[in-house]
């Protein structure tokens, strides 16, 4: 009886199982990362939509002076964007850090010192209030803590 043949079959089966396990692990990691990004984007869209539909917050953004743009997150309070900042902070979940910027549409507007983490960005155009047409872009930058 030739036992060498059965040993070779068992070795091949074990190698196939190991490779399959590694592939399943890698695919699971990629799917988990995709799920996190879609959840973060969903949350960002919700925050931006709340601001976009709130007349008071729209007016705050529209009334920022042209010479102040772009307005960085740390300058929101000094540029009359206190309520907008409060809204963003209150809607941001504990698992995220978020910052925002207000800038001209179609201008380059980004974080100066981005973290080494994955940053998820969404933006919305705020074009006018009932009395004032003064287009602005609100960008929201979020990353995991």
Q: Please tell me what DSSP assigns to residue 109.
A: -
Tens digits of per-residue pLDDT, 63-118?
999 999 999 999 999 999 999 999 999 999 999 999 999 999 988 888 887 777 88
pLDDT band for position 141 (cuts 50, 70, 90): very high
SS3 76: coil
Which residue has 């995991």 as its token pair? 144
Q: Which two tokens stand for residue 92?
A: 């941001």
Tell me, what's the pLDDT at 109? 87
Main-chain phi, psi angles of 39, to 5 degrees: -70, -40
Kindly report whether the global pTM for this prediction surpasses the value 0.85. no
Tens digits of per-residue pLDDT, 121-132?
999 999 988 888
pLDDT at 6 over 70: yes
Instruction: Show me where the domains of the chain are located.
Output: 3-144
Percent of the chain with pLDDT over 70: 96
Distance CA 62, CA 21 (A): 55
């Amino acid at each position: 009886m030739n036992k060498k043949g059965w040993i070779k079959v068992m070795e091949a089966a074990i190698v196939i199982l190991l490779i399959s396990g590694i592939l399943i692990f890698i695919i699971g990691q990629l799917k988990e990362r995709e799920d996190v990004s879609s959840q973060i984007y969903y949350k960002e869209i919700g925050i931006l939509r709340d601001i976009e539909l709130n007349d008071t917050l729209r007016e705050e953004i529209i009334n920022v002076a042209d010479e102040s743009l772009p307005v960085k997150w740390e300058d929101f309070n000094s540029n009359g964007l206190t309520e907008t900042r409060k809204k963003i902070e209150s809607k941001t979940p504990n698992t995220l850090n978020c910052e925002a910027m207000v800038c001209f549409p179609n201008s380059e507007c980004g974080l100066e010192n981005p973290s080494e983490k994955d940053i998820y960005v969404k933006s919305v155009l705020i074009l006018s209030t009932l009395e004032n047409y003064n287009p602005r872009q609100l960008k929201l930058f979020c990353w995991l803590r």
